[in-house]
Structure 1
Amino acid sequence: MMETNHFLVLQTDFGLKDGAVSAMHGVAHLVAPHVAVSDLTHEIPPYDIWAASYRLYQTIKYWPKGTTFVSVVDPGVGSDRKSIAVKTKSGHFIITPDNGSLTHVATYMGLEEVREIDEQKNRLPYSSESNTFHGRDIYAYNGALLADGEKSFEDLGEPLDPTSVVKLPLTEAKLENDHLTGSIDVLDIRFGSLWTNIPYDLVKKADIKRGDKLTVTITYQGQTYYHDTIPFVTSFADVAIKDPLMYINSLVNVGIALNQASFADTYKIGTGNDWKIDLTRE
Protein backbone atom coordinates (compact mmCIF):
# COMPACT_ATOMS: atom_id res chain seq x y z
CA MET A 1 0.00 0.00 0.00
CA MET A 2 1.41 3.40 -0.96
CA GLU A 3 1.40 6.04 1.75
CA THR A 4 1.91 9.79 1.63
CA ASN A 5 4.99 11.34 3.20
CA HIS A 6 4.02 14.88 4.32
CA PHE A 7 5.54 16.54 1.24
CA LEU A 8 3.18 18.73 -0.82
CA VAL A 9 4.40 20.29 -4.09
CA LEU A 10 2.36 23.00 -5.84
CA GLN A 11 2.28 23.98 -9.53
CA THR A 12 0.05 26.64 -11.13
CA ASP A 13 -0.16 29.27 -13.85
CA PHE A 14 -1.05 31.90 -11.23
CA GLY A 15 2.27 33.75 -11.09
CA LEU A 16 3.40 35.54 -7.94
CA LYS A 17 2.02 39.04 -8.48
CA ASP A 18 -0.98 38.58 -6.21
CA GLY A 19 -1.97 36.50 -3.20
CA ALA A 20 -3.30 33.39 -4.94
CA VAL A 21 -0.27 31.17 -4.34
CA SER A 22 0.10 32.42 -0.78
CA ALA A 23 -3.56 31.56 -0.16
CA MET A 24 -2.90 27.99 -1.33
CA HIS A 25 0.09 27.74 1.01
CA GLY A 26 -2.03 29.19 3.80
CA VAL A 27 -4.87 26.71 3.36
CA ALA A 28 -2.38 23.84 3.32
CA HIS A 29 -0.82 24.97 6.60
CA LEU A 30 -4.24 25.74 8.10
CA VAL A 31 -5.64 22.24 7.61
CA ALA A 32 -2.39 20.26 7.82
CA PRO A 33 0.20 22.16 9.91
CA HIS A 34 2.82 19.40 9.66
CA VAL A 35 2.95 19.27 5.86
CA ALA A 36 6.07 20.64 4.16
CA VAL A 37 4.85 22.77 1.23
CA SER A 38 7.14 23.41 -1.76
CA ASP A 39 6.68 24.97 -5.18
CA LEU A 40 7.36 23.29 -8.50
CA THR A 41 6.59 26.46 -10.47
CA HIS A 42 3.88 29.09 -10.65
CA GLU A 43 5.07 30.44 -13.99
CA ILE A 44 3.33 28.01 -16.33
CA PRO A 45 2.10 30.18 -19.23
CA PRO A 46 -1.59 31.03 -18.63
CA TYR A 47 -3.92 28.17 -19.62
CA ASP A 48 -1.00 26.07 -21.01
CA ILE A 49 -2.08 22.57 -20.01
CA TRP A 50 0.67 21.02 -22.16
CA ALA A 51 3.41 22.84 -20.25
CA ALA A 52 1.84 21.86 -16.92
CA SER A 53 1.81 18.23 -18.01
CA TYR A 54 5.45 18.30 -19.06
CA ARG A 55 6.69 20.09 -15.93
CA LEU A 56 5.02 17.47 -13.75
CA TYR A 57 6.72 14.70 -15.71
CA GLN A 58 10.04 16.55 -15.64
CA THR A 59 10.02 16.92 -11.86
CA ILE A 60 8.02 14.16 -10.19
CA LYS A 61 10.66 11.42 -10.43
CA TYR A 62 13.10 13.49 -8.37
CA TRP A 63 10.79 13.57 -5.33
CA PRO A 64 10.46 10.65 -2.89
CA LYS A 65 7.68 8.15 -3.31
CA GLY A 66 4.59 9.23 -1.42
CA THR A 67 4.96 12.92 -2.34
CA THR A 68 1.68 14.67 -3.21
CA PHE A 69 1.61 17.08 -6.15
CA VAL A 70 -1.11 19.65 -6.79
CA SER A 71 -1.17 21.00 -10.37
CA VAL A 72 -3.65 23.74 -11.21
CA VAL A 73 -3.74 24.99 -14.79
CA ASP A 74 -7.47 25.10 -15.13
CA PRO A 75 -9.05 27.14 -17.95
CA GLY A 76 -12.25 25.13 -17.40
CA VAL A 77 -12.63 25.97 -13.70
CA GLY A 78 -16.28 25.90 -12.68
CA SER A 79 -17.30 23.81 -15.71
CA ASP A 80 -18.16 20.12 -15.82
CA ARG A 81 -14.53 19.01 -16.13
CA LYS A 82 -13.63 16.55 -13.36
CA SER A 83 -11.29 17.11 -10.45
CA ILE A 84 -9.22 13.99 -9.92
CA ALA A 85 -6.63 12.43 -7.64
CA VAL A 86 -4.26 9.80 -8.99
CA LYS A 87 -1.74 7.31 -7.70
CA THR A 88 1.09 6.89 -10.19
CA LYS A 89 2.89 3.64 -10.78
CA SER A 90 6.01 5.40 -9.52
CA GLY A 91 4.42 5.79 -6.06
CA HIS A 92 3.45 9.48 -6.19
CA PHE A 93 0.09 11.24 -5.82
CA ILE A 94 -1.30 14.06 -8.00
CA ILE A 95 -4.42 16.18 -7.57
CA THR A 96 -5.37 18.13 -10.69
CA PRO A 97 -8.18 18.94 -13.13
CA ASP A 98 -8.85 16.15 -15.62
CA ASN A 99 -8.02 18.30 -18.63
CA GLY A 100 -4.84 16.80 -20.07
CA SER A 101 -2.41 17.86 -17.35
CA LEU A 102 -1.53 14.19 -16.73
CA THR A 103 -0.68 13.45 -20.37
CA HIS A 104 3.06 12.90 -19.96
CA VAL A 105 2.89 11.19 -16.57
CA ALA A 106 0.13 8.84 -17.74
CA THR A 107 1.97 7.99 -20.97
CA TYR A 108 5.53 7.60 -19.71
CA MET A 109 5.10 6.66 -16.03
CA GLY A 110 1.62 5.14 -15.80
CA LEU A 111 -1.37 5.59 -13.50
CA GLU A 112 -2.20 2.92 -10.94
CA GLU A 113 -5.46 4.32 -9.60
CA VAL A 114 -7.71 7.35 -10.19
CA ARG A 115 -10.44 8.89 -8.02
CA GLU A 116 -12.94 11.59 -8.96
CA ILE A 117 -12.96 14.19 -6.21
CA ASP A 118 -16.40 15.06 -4.89
CA GLU A 119 -16.15 18.86 -5.23
CA GLN A 120 -19.10 19.52 -2.92
CA LYS A 121 -18.07 17.19 -0.11
CA ASN A 122 -14.29 17.53 -0.25
CA ARG A 123 -13.57 21.23 -0.20
CA LEU A 124 -12.51 24.03 2.14
CA PRO A 125 -15.38 24.69 4.60
CA TYR A 126 -17.60 27.66 3.75
CA SER A 127 -16.14 27.99 0.23
CA SER A 128 -19.04 26.54 -1.74
CA GLU A 129 -20.37 29.90 -2.94
CA SER A 130 -17.25 30.45 -5.08
CA ASN A 131 -16.45 28.43 -8.20
CA THR A 132 -13.40 30.30 -9.51
CA PHE A 133 -10.60 29.38 -7.07
CA HIS A 134 -10.59 25.60 -6.95
CA GLY A 135 -6.80 25.76 -6.60
CA ARG A 136 -7.31 26.99 -3.05
CA ASP A 137 -10.68 25.51 -2.13
CA ILE A 138 -10.35 22.00 -3.59
CA TYR A 139 -6.84 21.19 -4.80
CA ALA A 140 -4.60 22.69 -2.10
CA TYR A 141 -7.14 21.71 0.56
CA ASN A 142 -7.35 18.05 -0.44
CA GLY A 143 -3.68 17.85 -1.34
CA ALA A 144 -2.67 18.97 2.14
CA LEU A 145 -5.03 16.57 3.89
CA LEU A 146 -3.82 13.71 1.69
CA ALA A 147 -0.14 14.57 2.21
CA ASP A 148 -0.66 14.74 5.98
CA GLY A 149 -2.49 11.43 6.12
CA GLU A 150 -5.59 13.06 7.57
CA LYS A 151 -7.57 11.91 4.55
CA SER A 152 -7.00 8.67 2.69
CA PHE A 153 -6.79 8.45 -1.07
CA GLU A 154 -9.98 6.37 -1.05
CA ASP A 155 -11.82 9.09 0.88
CA LEU A 156 -11.40 11.58 -1.97
CA GLY A 157 -14.09 10.07 -4.18
CA GLU A 158 -15.25 7.22 -6.35
CA PRO A 159 -12.80 5.27 -8.54
CA LEU A 160 -12.43 5.99 -12.25
CA ASP A 161 -10.94 3.89 -15.02
CA PRO A 162 -7.32 5.15 -15.39
CA THR A 163 -7.64 4.87 -19.17
CA SER A 164 -10.46 7.44 -19.09
CA VAL A 165 -8.14 10.27 -17.98
CA VAL A 166 -7.96 13.05 -20.58
CA LYS A 167 -4.73 13.00 -22.59
CA LEU A 168 -3.46 15.49 -25.14
CA PRO A 169 -2.02 14.23 -28.45
CA LEU A 170 1.63 13.17 -28.23
CA THR A 171 4.16 12.53 -30.99
CA GLU A 172 6.24 9.39 -30.55
CA ALA A 173 9.95 9.86 -31.19
CA LYS A 174 11.09 7.60 -34.04
CA LEU A 175 14.12 6.48 -36.03
CA GLU A 176 13.20 5.76 -39.64
CA ASN A 177 15.43 5.77 -42.72
CA ASP A 178 18.27 7.47 -40.82
CA HIS A 179 15.94 10.27 -39.68
CA LEU A 180 15.28 10.96 -36.01
CA THR A 181 11.90 12.63 -35.61
CA GLY A 182 9.95 13.92 -32.65
CA SER A 183 8.42 17.02 -31.10
CA ILE A 184 9.65 20.05 -29.18
CA ASP A 185 8.01 19.44 -25.85
CA VAL A 186 9.14 22.41 -23.79
CA LEU A 187 11.74 25.15 -23.40
CA ASP A 188 14.57 25.50 -20.95
CA ILE A 189 12.74 28.75 -20.35
CA ARG A 190 15.34 31.08 -18.91
CA PHE A 191 17.88 30.24 -21.61
CA GLY A 192 15.59 29.57 -24.59
CA SER A 193 16.92 26.10 -25.40
CA LEU A 194 14.60 23.56 -27.03
CA TRP A 195 13.92 20.29 -25.22
CA THR A 196 12.71 17.54 -27.53
CA ASN A 197 11.15 14.17 -26.79
CA ILE A 198 13.93 12.31 -28.69
CA PRO A 199 15.76 10.11 -26.16
CA TYR A 200 19.51 9.63 -26.19
CA ASP A 201 18.94 5.89 -26.69
CA LEU A 202 17.53 6.64 -30.16
CA VAL A 203 20.53 8.87 -30.93
CA LYS A 204 22.85 5.99 -30.06
CA LYS A 205 20.72 3.58 -32.07
CA ALA A 206 21.18 5.88 -35.08
CA ASP A 207 24.96 5.64 -34.48
CA ILE A 208 25.19 9.42 -34.05
CA LYS A 209 28.25 10.40 -32.02
CA ARG A 210 29.54 13.63 -30.54
CA GLY A 211 31.39 15.57 -33.16
CA ASP A 212 28.97 14.54 -35.91
CA LYS A 213 27.22 17.24 -37.94
CA LEU A 214 23.43 16.99 -38.12
CA THR A 215 20.89 18.56 -40.43
CA VAL A 216 18.14 19.94 -38.18
CA THR A 217 14.71 20.86 -39.53
CA ILE A 218 12.01 22.35 -37.29
CA THR A 219 8.45 22.80 -38.56
CA TYR A 220 5.11 23.99 -37.23
CA GLN A 221 2.00 22.67 -38.97
CA GLY A 222 4.08 22.00 -42.06
CA GLN A 223 5.83 25.37 -42.22
CA THR A 224 9.63 25.33 -41.81
CA TYR A 225 11.02 27.62 -39.09
CA TYR A 226 14.59 26.32 -39.01
CA HIS A 227 16.79 24.30 -41.36
CA ASP A 228 20.54 24.16 -40.90
CA THR A 229 23.51 21.99 -39.98
CA ILE A 230 24.69 21.95 -36.37
CA PRO A 231 27.20 19.88 -34.35
CA PHE A 232 26.37 17.29 -31.72
CA VAL A 233 28.53 18.24 -28.72
CA THR A 234 29.03 17.49 -25.03
CA SER A 235 28.59 20.99 -23.63
CA PHE A 236 27.71 24.54 -24.63
CA ALA A 237 31.38 25.55 -24.34
CA ASP A 238 32.22 23.29 -27.29
CA VAL A 239 30.94 25.92 -29.74
CA ALA A 240 31.48 29.66 -30.15
CA ILE A 241 29.16 32.12 -28.44
CA LYS A 242 25.81 32.37 -30.28
CA ASP A 243 26.58 29.30 -32.40
CA PRO A 244 24.01 26.45 -32.51
CA LEU A 245 24.50 23.04 -30.96
CA MET A 246 22.77 19.78 -30.20
CA TYR A 247 23.30 18.31 -26.74
CA ILE A 248 21.77 15.82 -24.30
CA ASN A 249 19.72 17.57 -21.62
CA SER A 250 19.13 16.74 -17.98
CA LEU A 251 16.27 14.38 -18.88
CA VAL A 252 18.63 12.51 -21.24
CA ASN A 253 16.78 13.75 -24.32
CA VAL A 254 18.00 15.79 -27.28
CA GLY A 255 18.28 19.54 -26.73
CA ILE A 256 18.87 22.22 -29.35
CA ALA A 257 20.40 25.53 -28.31
CA LEU A 258 22.51 28.57 -29.04
CA ASN A 259 25.51 29.13 -26.79
CA GLN A 260 24.63 32.07 -24.53
CA ALA A 261 21.60 33.08 -26.60
CA SER A 262 17.96 32.03 -26.93
CA PHE A 263 17.29 29.61 -29.77
CA ALA A 264 13.53 29.94 -29.23
CA ASP A 265 13.54 33.74 -29.44
CA THR A 266 16.02 33.93 -32.31
CA TYR A 267 14.06 31.60 -34.58
CA LYS A 268 10.54 32.12 -33.13
CA ILE A 269 10.20 28.49 -32.08
CA GLY A 270 7.33 27.32 -29.87
CA THR A 271 6.49 24.13 -28.03
CA GLY A 272 3.85 21.43 -28.15
CA ASN A 273 2.82 18.54 -30.29
CA ASP A 274 2.55 20.63 -33.49
CA TRP A 275 6.23 21.65 -33.31
CA LYS A 276 8.14 18.86 -35.07
CA ILE A 277 11.86 18.26 -35.36
CA ASP A 278 13.80 16.10 -37.83
CA LEU A 279 17.48 15.20 -37.37
CA THR A 280 19.72 13.41 -39.84
CA ARG A 281 23.46 12.97 -39.92
CA GLU A 282 25.27 14.63 -42.80
Structure 2
Amino acid sequence: MANFLVIQTDFGLQDGAVSAMYGVAYQVEPSLVINDLTHEIEPYNIHDASYRLWQTASYWPAGTVFVSVVDPGVGSTRRSVVAELADGQYIITPDNGTLTYLAKYVGIKAVRQIDQATQRLAGSSASHTFHGRDVYVYNGARLACGKVDFAELGPELPVAELVTFPLEAPQQTETTIRGTIDITDVRFGSLWTNIPADFFKKWAVAYGESLSVSIYYQGVVRYHDQVIFGRSFAQVPAESAVLYINSLLNVGLGINLGSFATTYQIGTGNDWTIELTRSPK
Protein backbone atom coordinates (compact mmCIF):
# COMPACT_ATOMS: atom_id res chain seq x y z
CA MET A 1 0.00 0.00 0.00
CA ALA A 2 1.05 3.62 -0.48
CA ASN A 3 0.54 4.58 3.21
CA PHE A 4 -1.44 7.62 2.00
CA LEU A 5 -4.89 8.35 3.42
CA VAL A 6 -6.98 11.18 1.91
CA ILE A 7 -10.18 12.32 3.64
CA GLN A 8 -13.23 14.15 2.28
CA THR A 9 -16.33 15.12 4.27
CA ASP A 10 -19.13 17.65 4.53
CA PHE A 11 -18.29 18.19 8.21
CA GLY A 12 -16.49 21.53 7.99
CA LEU A 13 -13.80 22.41 10.53
CA GLN A 14 -15.82 24.20 13.18
CA ASP A 15 -15.96 21.29 15.60
CA GLY A 16 -13.89 18.22 16.46
CA ALA A 17 -15.31 15.69 13.99
CA VAL A 18 -12.45 15.78 11.49
CA SER A 19 -9.84 15.83 14.23
CA ALA A 20 -11.44 12.76 15.80
CA MET A 21 -11.14 10.96 12.46
CA TYR A 22 -7.46 11.88 12.30
CA GLY A 23 -7.01 10.54 15.82
CA VAL A 24 -8.56 7.18 14.96
CA ALA A 25 -6.34 6.86 11.89
CA TYR A 26 -3.18 7.66 13.86
CA GLN A 27 -4.14 5.14 16.54
CA VAL A 28 -4.25 2.51 13.80
CA GLU A 29 -0.86 3.58 12.42
CA PRO A 30 1.06 6.67 13.59
CA SER A 31 3.22 6.74 10.44
CA LEU A 32 0.30 7.28 8.06
CA VAL A 33 0.47 10.27 5.74
CA ILE A 34 -2.99 11.89 6.01
CA ASN A 35 -4.22 14.62 3.68
CA ASP A 36 -7.51 16.45 3.28
CA LEU A 37 -9.30 16.49 -0.05
CA THR A 38 -11.90 18.89 1.36
CA HIS A 39 -14.22 19.18 4.34
CA GLU A 40 -16.31 21.91 2.71
CA ILE A 41 -18.68 19.84 0.59
CA GLU A 42 -22.16 21.34 0.93
CA PRO A 43 -23.99 19.27 3.58
CA TYR A 44 -25.56 16.13 2.07
CA ASN A 45 -24.40 17.03 -1.47
CA ILE A 46 -23.52 13.59 -2.84
CA HIS A 47 -23.13 14.94 -6.38
CA ASP A 48 -20.31 17.32 -5.41
CA ALA A 49 -18.62 14.68 -3.28
CA SER A 50 -18.62 12.35 -6.28
CA TYR A 51 -17.19 15.03 -8.58
CA ARG A 52 -14.40 16.03 -6.18
CA LEU A 53 -13.24 12.44 -5.92
CA TRP A 54 -13.04 12.21 -9.71
CA GLN A 55 -11.23 15.55 -9.85
CA THR A 56 -8.58 14.31 -7.43
CA ALA A 57 -8.16 10.54 -7.11
CA SER A 58 -6.26 9.77 -10.30
CA TYR A 59 -3.48 12.20 -9.38
CA TRP A 60 -2.57 10.14 -6.31
CA PRO A 61 -0.34 7.03 -6.44
CA ALA A 62 -1.80 3.56 -6.77
CA GLY A 63 -2.58 2.20 -3.32
CA THR A 64 -3.74 5.55 -1.93
CA VAL A 65 -6.90 5.17 0.16
CA PHE A 66 -9.63 7.81 0.01
CA VAL A 67 -12.30 8.07 2.68
CA SER A 68 -15.34 10.10 1.58
CA VAL A 69 -18.09 10.76 4.10
CA VAL A 70 -21.09 12.65 2.75
CA ASP A 71 -23.71 10.47 4.29
CA PRO A 72 -27.31 11.68 4.63
CA GLY A 73 -28.33 8.04 5.15
CA VAL A 74 -26.08 7.32 8.13
CA GLY A 75 -27.71 4.76 10.41
CA SER A 76 -30.03 3.51 7.66
CA THR A 77 -29.78 0.34 5.59
CA ARG A 78 -27.47 1.94 2.99
CA ARG A 79 -24.31 -0.10 2.47
CA SER A 80 -20.74 0.82 3.29
CA VAL A 81 -18.31 -0.13 0.54
CA VAL A 82 -14.69 -0.06 -0.51
CA ALA A 83 -13.99 0.25 -4.24
CA GLU A 84 -10.75 -0.48 -6.07
CA LEU A 85 -10.31 1.89 -9.01
CA ALA A 86 -8.89 0.90 -12.38
CA ASP A 87 -5.84 3.05 -11.56
CA GLY A 88 -5.21 1.24 -8.26
CA GLN A 89 -6.55 3.72 -5.70
CA TYR A 90 -9.20 2.74 -3.13
CA ILE A 91 -12.35 4.60 -2.05
CA ILE A 92 -14.19 3.88 1.21
CA THR A 93 -17.61 5.52 1.28
CA PRO A 94 -21.33 4.99 1.71
CA ASP A 95 -22.94 3.35 -1.32
CA ASN A 96 -25.16 6.35 -2.02
CA GLY A 97 -23.97 7.63 -5.40
CA THR A 98 -20.60 8.98 -4.30
CA LEU A 99 -18.83 6.63 -6.72
CA THR A 100 -20.80 7.78 -9.79
CA TYR A 101 -18.18 9.98 -11.47
CA LEU A 102 -15.36 7.53 -10.79
CA ALA A 103 -17.40 4.65 -12.21
CA LYS A 104 -18.13 6.66 -15.35
CA TYR A 105 -14.80 8.33 -16.07
CA VAL A 106 -12.11 6.26 -14.32
CA GLY A 107 -13.49 2.75 -13.94
CA ILE A 108 -14.03 0.58 -10.88
CA LYS A 109 -12.21 -2.75 -10.85
CA ALA A 110 -13.90 -4.34 -7.82
CA VAL A 111 -16.15 -3.50 -4.86
CA ARG A 112 -16.53 -5.07 -1.43
CA GLN A 113 -19.17 -4.44 1.20
CA ILE A 114 -17.80 -3.54 4.62
CA ASP A 115 -19.44 -5.32 7.53
CA GLN A 116 -20.35 -2.37 9.75
CA ALA A 117 -21.00 -4.65 12.72
CA THR A 118 -17.56 -6.29 12.83
CA GLN A 119 -15.20 -4.05 10.83
CA ARG A 120 -15.31 -1.00 13.10
CA LEU A 121 -13.50 0.83 15.86
CA ALA A 122 -13.46 -1.13 19.11
CA GLY A 123 -16.06 0.10 21.58
CA SER A 124 -18.10 2.03 19.02
CA SER A 125 -20.92 -0.43 18.40
CA ALA A 126 -23.49 1.58 20.40
CA SER A 127 -23.00 4.63 18.15
CA HIS A 128 -24.88 4.78 14.85
CA THR A 129 -24.35 8.38 13.73
CA PHE A 130 -20.58 8.75 13.19
CA HIS A 131 -19.58 6.04 10.73
CA GLY A 132 -16.97 8.43 9.35
CA ARG A 133 -14.97 7.91 12.52
CA ASP A 134 -16.08 4.44 13.57
CA VAL A 135 -16.20 2.60 10.23
CA TYR A 136 -14.77 4.56 7.30
CA VAL A 137 -11.58 6.17 8.54
CA TYR A 138 -10.85 3.20 10.80
CA ASN A 139 -10.92 0.81 7.87
CA GLY A 140 -9.29 3.35 5.58
CA ALA A 141 -6.31 3.59 7.92
CA ARG A 142 -6.03 -0.19 8.23
CA LEU A 143 -6.12 -0.59 4.45
CA ALA A 144 -3.67 2.26 3.80
CA CYS A 145 -1.02 0.84 6.13
CA GLY A 146 -1.50 -2.79 5.10
CA LYS A 147 -2.98 -4.09 8.34
CA VAL A 148 -5.92 -5.44 6.36
CA ASP A 149 -6.23 -6.48 2.72
CA PHE A 150 -8.91 -5.27 0.34
CA ALA A 151 -10.38 -8.78 0.21
CA GLU A 152 -10.61 -8.98 4.01
CA LEU A 153 -12.92 -5.99 4.33
CA GLY A 154 -16.00 -7.87 3.19
CA PRO A 155 -17.72 -9.89 0.48
CA GLU A 156 -17.42 -8.83 -3.14
CA LEU A 157 -20.31 -6.97 -4.77
CA PRO A 158 -21.06 -6.67 -8.48
CA VAL A 159 -19.86 -3.26 -9.65
CA ALA A 160 -23.11 -2.89 -11.59
CA GLU A 161 -25.06 -2.95 -8.29
CA LEU A 162 -23.48 0.26 -6.98
CA VAL A 163 -25.88 3.13 -6.41
CA THR A 164 -25.33 5.84 -9.02
CA PHE A 165 -27.14 8.95 -10.23
CA PRO A 166 -27.65 9.86 -13.89
CA LEU A 167 -25.00 11.85 -15.75
CA GLU A 168 -26.04 13.69 -18.88
CA ALA A 169 -23.73 13.23 -21.87
CA PRO A 170 -22.59 16.34 -23.78
CA GLN A 171 -23.79 16.66 -27.38
CA GLN A 172 -22.30 18.35 -30.44
CA THR A 173 -23.64 19.25 -33.89
CA GLU A 174 -22.11 21.37 -36.63
CA THR A 175 -23.29 24.57 -34.95
CA THR A 176 -24.28 23.71 -31.34
CA ILE A 177 -22.72 22.16 -28.25
CA ARG A 178 -24.85 21.27 -25.24
CA GLY A 179 -23.69 20.16 -21.82
CA THR A 180 -24.22 20.53 -18.07
CA ILE A 181 -22.68 22.69 -15.37
CA ASP A 182 -21.11 19.96 -13.30
CA ILE A 183 -19.35 21.96 -10.57
CA THR A 184 -18.01 25.37 -9.66
CA ASP A 185 -14.44 26.35 -8.95
CA VAL A 186 -15.58 27.31 -5.48
CA ARG A 187 -12.98 29.89 -4.53
CA PHE A 188 -13.14 31.83 -7.79
CA GLY A 189 -16.67 31.07 -9.02
CA SER A 190 -15.87 29.66 -12.45
CA LEU A 191 -18.24 27.10 -13.99
CA TRP A 192 -16.85 23.70 -14.95
CA THR A 193 -18.88 21.95 -17.63
CA ASN A 194 -18.92 18.36 -18.85
CA ILE A 195 -18.01 19.50 -22.39
CA PRO A 196 -14.64 17.98 -23.40
CA ALA A 197 -11.90 20.06 -24.99
CA ASP A 198 -12.07 17.70 -27.98
CA PHE A 199 -15.38 19.33 -28.95
CA PHE A 200 -13.57 22.64 -29.43
CA LYS A 201 -10.81 20.87 -31.34
CA LYS A 202 -13.40 19.31 -33.64
CA TRP A 203 -14.81 22.76 -34.30
CA ALA A 204 -11.28 24.21 -34.61
CA VAL A 205 -12.25 27.07 -32.29
CA ALA A 206 -9.44 29.65 -32.28
CA TYR A 207 -8.35 31.72 -29.30
CA GLY A 208 -10.09 35.07 -29.52
CA GLU A 209 -13.15 33.65 -31.27
CA SER A 210 -16.52 34.51 -29.73
CA LEU A 211 -19.25 31.96 -29.16
CA SER A 212 -22.84 32.51 -28.16
CA VAL A 213 -23.34 31.14 -24.63
CA SER A 214 -26.71 30.39 -23.05
CA ILE A 215 -27.22 28.88 -19.59
CA TYR A 216 -30.55 27.36 -18.58
CA TYR A 217 -32.06 26.24 -15.29
CA GLN A 218 -34.71 23.60 -15.91
CA GLY A 219 -35.08 24.95 -19.45
CA VAL A 220 -35.40 28.63 -18.48
CA VAL A 221 -32.67 31.01 -19.70
CA ARG A 222 -30.56 32.41 -16.86
CA TYR A 223 -27.68 33.84 -18.93
CA HIS A 224 -27.06 34.70 -22.58
CA ASP A 225 -24.16 36.58 -24.19
CA GLN A 226 -21.26 36.40 -26.61
CA VAL A 227 -18.12 35.12 -24.86
CA ILE A 228 -14.50 34.97 -26.08
CA PHE A 229 -12.55 31.71 -26.02
CA GLY A 230 -9.21 32.41 -24.33
CA ARG A 231 -6.08 30.53 -23.38
CA SER A 232 -6.51 31.86 -19.83
CA PHE A 233 -8.36 34.53 -17.87
CA ALA A 234 -5.72 37.10 -18.83
CA GLN A 235 -6.93 36.94 -22.43
CA VAL A 236 -9.87 39.21 -21.56
CA PRO A 237 -10.20 42.49 -19.63
CA ALA A 238 -10.98 42.47 -15.91
CA GLU A 239 -14.61 41.60 -15.09
CA SER A 240 -15.15 40.15 -18.59
CA ALA A 241 -16.38 36.59 -19.23
CA VAL A 242 -14.14 34.02 -20.89
CA LEU A 243 -14.46 30.44 -22.12
CA TYR A 244 -11.37 28.34 -21.43
CA ILE A 245 -10.14 24.76 -21.05
CA ASN A 246 -9.91 23.83 -17.38
CA SER A 247 -7.47 21.56 -15.56
CA LEU A 248 -9.61 18.47 -16.29
CA LEU A 249 -9.55 19.33 -20.02
CA ASN A 250 -13.20 20.33 -20.10
CA VAL A 251 -14.69 23.66 -21.11
CA GLY A 252 -14.94 26.21 -18.30
CA LEU A 253 -16.66 29.58 -18.10
CA GLY A 254 -15.40 32.29 -15.80
CA ILE A 255 -14.92 36.00 -15.22
CA ASN A 256 -11.46 37.54 -15.11
CA LEU A 257 -11.02 38.78 -11.50
CA GLY A 258 -14.62 37.94 -10.68
CA SER A 259 -17.05 35.13 -9.86
CA PHE A 260 -19.33 33.96 -12.67
CA ALA A 261 -21.39 31.76 -10.34
CA THR A 262 -22.04 34.60 -7.89
CA THR A 263 -22.56 37.32 -10.48
CA TYR A 264 -25.23 35.37 -12.37
CA GLN A 265 -26.44 33.06 -9.55
CA ILE A 266 -25.60 29.86 -11.44
CA GLY A 267 -25.81 26.42 -9.79
CA THR A 268 -24.64 22.93 -10.67
CA GLY A 269 -26.06 19.55 -11.66
CA ASN A 270 -28.28 18.20 -14.42
CA ASP A 271 -30.83 21.00 -13.95
CA TRP A 272 -28.22 23.51 -15.12
CA THR A 273 -27.41 23.21 -18.82
CA ILE A 274 -25.19 25.23 -21.12
CA GLU A 275 -25.48 25.73 -24.87
CA LEU A 276 -22.70 27.06 -27.10
CA THR A 277 -23.38 28.09 -30.69
CA ARG A 278 -21.29 29.49 -33.50
CA SER A 279 -22.13 30.91 -36.88
CA PRO A 280 -21.75 28.41 -39.73
CA LYS A 281 -18.57 28.90 -41.74
**TM band (smaller chain):** over 0.9
User: SS at the partner of 1:61?
Assistant: helix
Q: How many residues align?
A: 279
- Which of residues 105, 121, 139 in structure 2 aligns to 1:142? 139
Displacement of 1:34: 2.1
- Which amino acid counterpart does residue 38 of structure 1 have in structure 2? N
- Which amino acid counterpart does residue 33 of structure 1 have in structure 2? P
Displacement of 1:258: 0.8
Displacement of 1:177: 3.8
Which residue of 2 is the match for residue 80 of structure 1? Answer: 77
Which residue of 2 is the match for residue 44 of structure 1? Answer: 41
Write the distance in 1 (CA, Å) between the matches of 2:137 and 2:221: 42
Structure 2: state its 5+ residue gaps: none
Displacement of 1:259: 0.8
User: SS at the partner of 1:95?
Assistant: strand
Displacement of 1:192: 0.4
Write the distance in 2 (CA, Å) between the matches of 1:209 and 1:156: 51
Note the aligned Cα RMSD (angstroms): 0.8
1:19 to 2:16 alignment: yes
| TM-score normalised over the length of structure 2 | 0.98
- Which of residues 50, 57, 60 in structure 1 aligns to 2:57? 60
1:279 to 2:276 alignment: yes
| TM-score normalised over the length of structure 1 | 0.97
| CA contact 1:51–1:186 (8 Å) conserved in 2 | yes
Structure 1: state its 5+ residue gaps: none
- Which amino acid counterpart does residue 236 of structure 1 have in structure 2? F
1:173 to 2:170 alignment: yes
Which residue of 2 is the match for residue 69 of structure 1? Answer: 66
Which residue of 2 is the match for residue 257 of structure 1? Answer: 254
1:206 to 2:180 alignment: no
Write the distance in 2 (CA, Å) between the matches of 1:25 and 1:273: 34
Displacement of 1:5: 1.1
- Which of residues 91, 111, 114 in structure 1 aligns to 2:88? 91
Displacement of 1:211: 1.4
- Which amino acid counterpart does residue 67 of structure 2 have in structure 1? V
Write the distance in 2 (CA, Å) between the matches of 1:61 and 1:173: 22
- Which amino acid counterpart does residue 237 of structure 2 have in structure 1? A
- Which amino acid counterpart does residue 237 of structure 1 have in structure 2? A
Displacement of 1:251: 0.9
Runs of 4+ in structure 1 off by over 4 angstroms are none
